Chains A and B, each alone.
Chain A
Protein backbone atom coordinates (compact mmCIF):
# COMPACT_ATOMS: atom_id res chain seq x y z
CA UNK A 1 0.00 0.00 0.00
CA UNK A 2 1.10 3.57 -0.64
CA UNK A 3 1.80 5.31 2.66
CA UNK A 4 0.85 8.97 2.85
CA UNK A 5 2.76 10.90 5.51
CA UNK A 6 1.53 14.33 6.52
CA UNK A 7 3.42 16.89 8.55
CA UNK A 8 3.04 18.53 10.91
CA UNK A 9 0.19 16.80 12.71
CA UNK A 10 -1.02 20.15 14.00
CA UNK A 11 -0.36 23.82 13.33
CA UNK A 12 -1.24 26.71 15.63
CA UNK A 13 -1.79 29.89 13.66
CA UNK A 14 -3.08 33.42 13.94
CA UNK A 15 -5.35 34.99 11.39
CA UNK A 16 -3.44 36.53 8.53
CA UNK A 17 -0.49 34.14 8.72
CA UNK A 18 0.81 32.05 5.85
CA UNK A 19 0.94 28.33 6.58
CA UNK A 20 2.39 25.36 4.75
CA UNK A 21 1.65 21.72 5.34
CA UNK A 22 3.25 18.75 3.67
CA UNK A 23 2.26 15.38 2.32
CA UNK A 24 4.74 12.75 1.24
CA UNK A 25 3.83 9.56 -0.57
CA UNK A 26 5.85 6.34 -0.46
CA UNK A 27 5.54 6.00 -4.26
CA UNK A 28 5.38 8.49 -7.07
CA UNK A 29 1.89 9.73 -7.85
CA UNK A 30 2.98 11.19 -11.18
CA UNK A 31 1.66 9.25 -14.14
CA UNK A 32 4.10 9.68 -17.00
CA UNK A 33 1.44 9.02 -19.65
CA UNK A 34 -0.40 12.25 -18.94
CA UNK A 35 1.92 14.04 -16.48
CA UNK A 36 -0.89 14.17 -13.91
CA UNK A 37 -0.24 13.89 -10.22
CA UNK A 38 -2.94 11.82 -8.54
CA UNK A 39 -3.01 13.69 -5.25
CA UNK A 40 -6.00 15.37 -3.61
CA UNK A 41 -6.40 17.58 -0.57
CA UNK A 42 -9.53 17.67 1.59
CA UNK A 43 -10.72 20.06 4.26
CA UNK A 44 -12.78 18.69 7.12
CA UNK A 45 -14.42 20.91 9.69
CA UNK A 46 -15.76 19.57 12.96
CA UNK A 47 -18.94 17.56 12.52
CA UNK A 48 -18.89 17.79 8.73
CA UNK A 49 -17.85 15.46 5.92
CA UNK A 50 -14.58 16.17 4.15
CA UNK A 51 -14.72 18.58 1.23
CA UNK A 52 -12.53 18.22 -1.81
CA UNK A 53 -10.23 21.22 -1.86
CA UNK A 54 -7.62 20.44 -4.51
CA UNK A 55 -7.13 17.63 -7.01
CA UNK A 56 -4.37 16.85 -9.43
CA UNK A 57 -2.04 18.25 -6.77
CA UNK A 58 -2.72 21.87 -7.74
CA UNK A 59 -6.21 22.34 -9.22
CA UNK A 60 -8.60 24.13 -6.90
CA UNK A 61 -12.24 23.16 -6.74
CA UNK A 62 -14.53 26.02 -7.81
CA UNK A 63 -15.53 26.96 -4.26
CA UNK A 64 -11.96 27.26 -2.99
CA UNK A 65 -10.51 30.77 -2.43
CA UNK A 66 -7.24 31.47 -4.19
CA UNK A 67 -5.43 31.82 -0.87
CA UNK A 68 -5.22 28.01 -1.00
CA UNK A 69 -2.41 26.69 -3.20
CA UNK A 70 -1.44 23.11 -3.86
CA UNK A 71 1.94 22.27 -5.30
CA UNK A 72 4.42 19.47 -5.71
CA UNK A 73 4.96 16.45 -7.90
CA UNK A 74 5.99 12.84 -7.66
CA UNK A 75 6.21 12.06 -3.97
CA UNK A 76 6.31 15.47 -2.29
CA UNK A 77 3.37 17.83 -2.07
CA UNK A 78 2.44 20.94 -0.14
CA UNK A 79 -0.71 22.84 0.68
CA UNK A 80 -0.19 26.50 1.41
CA UNK A 81 -2.75 28.86 2.85
CA UNK A 82 -1.75 32.48 2.58
CA UNK A 83 -3.51 34.93 4.88
CA UNK A 84 -5.27 32.31 7.03
CA UNK A 85 -8.87 33.12 7.92
CA UNK A 86 -10.68 31.85 11.01
CA UNK A 87 -12.98 29.85 8.72
CA UNK A 88 -9.96 27.86 7.52
CA UNK A 89 -9.58 26.14 10.89
CA UNK A 90 -10.07 22.48 10.09
CA UNK A 91 -8.24 19.23 9.54
CA UNK A 92 -6.59 18.87 6.15
CA UNK A 93 -6.07 15.45 4.63
CA UNK A 94 -4.18 14.39 1.55
CA UNK A 95 -5.14 11.28 -0.38
CA UNK A 96 -3.63 9.57 -3.36
CA UNK A 97 -6.17 8.62 -6.02
CA UNK A 98 -3.95 6.75 -8.42
CA UNK A 99 -6.26 3.92 -9.45
CA UNK A 100 -3.37 1.58 -10.26
CA UNK A 101 -2.28 1.57 -6.62
CA UNK A 102 -5.16 0.50 -4.45
CA UNK A 103 -6.14 1.18 -1.72
CA UNK A 104 -6.56 4.93 -2.09
CA UNK A 105 -4.93 5.83 1.18
CA UNK A 106 -5.26 9.04 3.16
CA UNK A 107 -2.66 10.80 5.24
CA UNK A 108 -3.29 11.14 8.97
CA UNK A 109 -4.21 14.79 8.64
CA UNK A 110 -2.90 18.19 9.70
CA UNK A 111 -5.06 20.04 12.21
CA UNK A 112 -5.06 23.79 11.82
CA UNK A 113 -5.78 25.47 15.17
CA UNK A 114 -5.89 28.98 16.55
CA UNK A 115 -2.82 30.11 18.46
Chain B
Protein backbone atom coordinates (compact mmCIF):
# COMPACT_ATOMS: atom_id res chain seq x y z
CA UNK B 1 0.00 0.00 0.00
CA UNK B 2 1.05 3.58 -0.62
CA UNK B 3 2.72 5.19 2.37
CA UNK B 4 4.47 8.48 2.96
CA UNK B 5 6.48 8.40 6.17
CA UNK B 6 7.41 11.62 7.92
CA UNK B 7 9.11 12.18 11.27
CA UNK B 8 6.66 13.31 13.91
CA UNK B 9 8.38 16.41 15.21
CA UNK B 10 11.42 18.66 15.01
CA UNK B 11 12.50 21.29 17.52
CA UNK B 12 14.75 23.95 16.04
CA UNK B 13 16.30 27.17 17.22
CA UNK B 14 15.36 30.52 15.68
CA UNK B 15 17.63 31.36 12.77
CA UNK B 16 18.55 27.74 12.16
CA UNK B 17 17.63 25.43 9.28
CA UNK B 18 15.91 22.08 9.25
CA UNK B 19 15.63 19.37 6.61
CA UNK B 20 12.37 17.43 6.64
CA UNK B 21 12.04 14.03 5.06
CA UNK B 22 9.23 12.12 3.40
CA UNK B 23 9.91 8.47 2.54
CA UNK B 24 7.62 7.01 -0.08
CA UNK B 25 6.72 3.37 -0.55
CA UNK B 26 4.12 1.27 -2.33
CA UNK B 27 4.24 3.07 -5.67
CA UNK B 28 6.68 4.23 -8.32
CA UNK B 29 8.28 7.23 -6.64
CA UNK B 30 9.36 8.85 -9.89
CA UNK B 31 5.89 8.78 -11.45
CA UNK B 32 4.17 11.40 -9.29
CA UNK B 33 4.91 14.93 -8.17
CA UNK B 34 5.67 15.32 -4.48
CA UNK B 35 3.88 18.27 -2.96
CA UNK B 36 4.61 20.01 0.33
CA UNK B 37 1.94 21.80 2.35
CA UNK B 38 2.16 23.97 5.48
CA UNK B 39 -0.49 24.19 8.17
CA UNK B 40 -0.10 26.52 11.13
CA UNK B 41 -2.03 25.68 14.33
CA UNK B 42 -5.77 26.13 13.83
CA UNK B 43 -5.08 27.58 10.38
CA UNK B 44 -5.69 26.54 6.81
CA UNK B 45 -3.48 24.85 4.25
CA UNK B 46 -0.74 26.55 2.23
CA UNK B 47 0.87 24.94 -0.79
CA UNK B 48 4.63 25.39 -0.56
CA UNK B 49 5.68 23.75 -3.81
CA UNK B 50 6.24 20.50 -5.61
CA UNK B 51 9.04 18.47 -7.09
CA UNK B 52 9.05 15.93 -9.89
CA UNK B 53 11.17 13.06 -8.53
CA UNK B 54 11.92 11.90 -12.07
CA UNK B 55 14.00 14.92 -13.03
CA UNK B 56 13.90 17.14 -9.92
CA UNK B 57 11.94 19.86 -11.70
CA UNK B 58 10.55 22.12 -8.99
CA UNK B 59 7.71 24.61 -8.74
CA UNK B 60 7.51 26.92 -5.76
CA UNK B 61 4.89 29.17 -4.29
CA UNK B 62 6.64 32.56 -4.56
CA UNK B 63 5.88 33.12 -0.89
CA UNK B 64 8.23 30.26 0.02
CA UNK B 65 10.87 30.73 -2.64
CA UNK B 66 13.48 32.02 -0.18
CA UNK B 67 12.34 29.73 2.61
CA UNK B 68 12.13 26.22 1.21
CA UNK B 69 14.31 24.04 -0.99
CA UNK B 70 12.87 20.79 -2.34
CA UNK B 71 15.06 17.84 -3.27
CA UNK B 72 14.73 14.09 -3.73
CA UNK B 73 16.88 11.01 -3.38
CA UNK B 74 15.62 8.54 -5.95
CA UNK B 75 17.76 5.73 -4.56
CA UNK B 76 15.82 5.78 -1.29
CA UNK B 77 12.50 7.11 -2.64
CA UNK B 78 12.74 10.00 -0.23
CA UNK B 79 11.77 13.61 -0.72
CA UNK B 80 13.24 16.40 1.34
CA UNK B 81 12.33 19.95 2.17
CA UNK B 82 14.90 22.23 3.72
CA UNK B 83 13.58 25.26 5.57
CA UNK B 84 16.02 28.05 6.36
CA UNK B 85 16.28 31.10 8.65
CA UNK B 86 13.50 29.78 10.82
CA UNK B 87 11.27 32.09 12.86
CA UNK B 88 8.16 31.56 14.95
CA UNK B 89 6.13 32.07 11.76
CA UNK B 90 7.58 28.79 10.51
CA UNK B 91 6.23 26.80 13.46
CA UNK B 92 3.68 24.56 11.78
CA UNK B 93 2.87 21.07 10.59
CA UNK B 94 4.42 20.30 7.23
CA UNK B 95 2.86 17.62 5.07
CA UNK B 96 4.10 15.83 2.00
CA UNK B 97 1.50 14.59 -0.45
CA UNK B 98 1.81 12.54 -3.61
CA UNK B 99 0.03 10.11 -5.94
CA UNK B 100 -2.01 13.00 -7.29
CA UNK B 101 -2.59 14.14 -3.68
CA UNK B 102 -4.44 10.93 -2.87
CA UNK B 103 -1.85 10.09 -0.25
CA UNK B 104 -0.48 12.33 2.47
CA UNK B 105 2.11 11.84 5.15
CA UNK B 106 1.09 12.26 8.79
CA UNK B 107 3.00 15.52 8.88
CA UNK B 108 6.02 16.80 10.77
CA UNK B 109 5.40 19.33 13.53
CA UNK B 110 8.16 21.91 13.40
CA UNK B 111 8.52 24.01 16.54
CA UNK B 112 10.83 27.00 16.38
CA UNK B 113 11.89 27.92 19.90
CA UNK B 114 14.95 28.98 21.81
Contacts and interface: CB of A to CB of B under 8 A. Distances in A.
Interface residues of A, number: 20
Contact of A97 (B49, B101, B107): B101
What is the interface of chain A mostly: helix, strand, loop, or mixed?
Answer: loop
Contact of B61 (A61, A95, A97, A102): A102
B46 interface: yes
B102 interface: yes
A61 B49 CA distance: 23
A93 B49 CA distance: 18
Q: Interface range on chain B: under 10, 10 to 19, 20 to 34, or 35 or more?
A: 20 to 34
Given A103-B63, A105-B47, A106-B47, 12 more contacts: A44-B45, A49-B95, A49-B97, A49-B104, A49-B106, A52-B100, A55-B101, A95-B45, A102-B59, A106-B46, A107-B44, A108-B44
Interface in B76-102: 95, 97, 100-102
Interface of B: 35, 37, 44-47, 49-50, 59-63, 95, 97, 100-102, 104-107
A51 B45 contact: no
